[in-house]
Chains A and B, each alone.
Chain A
Amino acid sequence: MDIRMMLATARRVLSQLRHDHRSIALILVVPALLLTAVYFLYENETLRPGVPRTFDRVGLMMLAIFPFVVMFLVTSITMLRERTTGTLERLLTTPVHKADLLFGYGLAFSLMAALQSLVATAVAYWIFGLDIAGAPGYVVLIAVINAVLGVALGLFCSAFARTEFQAVQFMPVVVVPQILLCGLFVARERMNDVLEAISNVLPLTYSVDALQEVAAHAEATDRLWQDAATMAAIALGVLVLAALTLRRRTS
């Protein structure tokens, strides 16, 4: 690995994005707008005393889900373009290490995800008064790890798509099941055994669990760190799988 090649790759990916003002606006603004929608959706709910608002539960989880979904899409399309335009083949004829490319991608999109999550978290806290026990820094941390996970899965899945149209179709396959089973709609304890077992191996589950820890405890708990470590390990594993899909030679 060569840190300079990795940084050059991250810089290149970011400057590609920099020229695309509309995408930047979509990445930064849309999560905040959707949070606003969620807030007003539960605006008139009647709460028994002591019960937290639904927004504090659902809005919080959405803060983790946005970067995952957005970075999955952005990465898989960007990488697919790199494959179809021949720039990837060209790069692989240079001395660059595959890890430099993949971590460069990961770094660039994690930075974008961090910005996105700062905007969304700020809106959730300051405008809609998100009320949880833990510090907002942990929310952002989990959101960024989720973004890396999305990047890793996007890099991996792009290998199985030949067109951008196909790449987008991976979203219902890879992303939607994770959203359904992560504990957002139904608490995982109340799922049947099969669904619960599946949800146990899906990475997004751990981020929802981690955020529930943040919501319930003022200080970081062991379980929060365990969840974060599990997510990071899965992200790294998927990045290694993605590296295996980068072939210097075709037959």
Chain B
Amino acid sequence: MSHSSAAPSRPAHHGAAAVVATALTVRLGRLPVLHGLDFAIPAGRITGLLGPSGSGKTTLMRTIVGTQRIAGGTVEVLGLAAGSAALRREVGYVTQSPSVYPDLTVEANVRYFGAMHKKGKADVAEAIAAVGLEPLARRRAAGLSGGQVNRVSLACALVAHPRLLVLDEPTVGLDPVLRADLWDRFRAMAEAGTTLLVSSHVMEEASRCETLLLLREGRLLAQLTPAELGRRGHSSNLEQAFLAVIREQEDGDGGTPPDRTIGGIRPAGLEQRRSVR
């Protein structure tokens, strides 16, 4: 993919942080999933959470939203501990598989989740318009395509006007035009002050973000801007760059050590990544 659509490179750590994690460790049952992560997500920006499938992206998002218990370390969201009751008004979460009621219309879905935030008709109409589903507002979600249901799920989060919006793979199954539309919408929201955390395993989407968190096997490889990733990976193709960064980690002594890197990546998995290409 070309990078004509790259985000304007504003400094990544300008202004206040919306989310701050310190030595964050999470276990699912007994299985350790996140290993002592340290990072800060800047307020009013789009942060991309990138990494291969199974790297812990969803678990990290659930931790920030407050539905996942923390085993060690801290996560502060908008100045409060993740999961605080007051954050339920401020944080929106769109799960990877769309969590909407298939037997309700688009409008009824958005209206119901809006009601949980005491939002009225105007907000409902605005949220449906934002995802471009006005013509389908009276159709039941069960009759819509996968991409359309994803957008219903997104509208159910937008209706609350959250200050922090956490989106787990929101563009999966969308055609390129819709995907571009949604990223424009995310950009507009960030410019209006919303903080967005967007996960993806499609590296081309990284260029749309202002900061990137690169996650692999539950460890943070790096936090950097797309431009920095390109430089460090010696490629304008961000997928190539990401792979180069992984290799650099595995070699251990590769070039300039990144400032926010946690080492100890096992050499396994590289073959797997190659075959994915």
Contact = CB atoms under 8 A, between A and B. Distances in A.
Interface of A: 4-5, 8-9, 12, 15-16, 19-20, 85-87, 89-96, 248-251
A89 B140 CA distance: 21
B67 A19 contact: no
Contact of B67 (A4, A20, A93): A93
Contacts of B140: 19
Contact of B101 (A8, A16, A92): A16
Contact of B116 (A5, A16, A250): A5
B154 to A, nearest CB: 12
Given A5-B115, A8-B115, A89 B67 contact: yes
Q: Which of the four size classes fits the interface of chain B?
A: 20 to 34
Interface in B233-266: none
Contacts of A95: 85, 88-89, 116-117
A250 B67 contact: yes
- In this complex, which of A15, A93, A95, A96 has the most chain B Cβ atoms within 10 angstroms of its Cβ? A93
A96 to B, nearest CB: 5
A20 B66 contact: no
B99 A87 contact: yes
Interface in B34-56: none
A93 B66 CA distance: 8
A210 B194 CA distance: 58
Nearest to A87: B99
A8 B67 contact: no
A94 B99 contact: no
14 contacts: A12-B104, A16-B101, A85-B97, A86-B95, A87-B100, A89-B99, A90-B99, A90-B156, A93-B65, A94-B88, A248-B66, A249-B83, A251-B29, A251-B69
B103 interface: yes
Nearest to A100: B116
B242 to A, nearest CB: 29
A93 B88 contact: yes
A87 B97 CA distance: 10
Contact of B93 (A4, A12, A20, A90): A90
A244 B163 CA distance: 29
A12 B112 contact: yes
A249 B101 contact: no
B60 interface: no
A209 B99 CA distance: 44
Nearest to A95: B88
Contacts of B93: 90, 93
Contacts of B118: 4
Contacts of B115: 4-5, 8
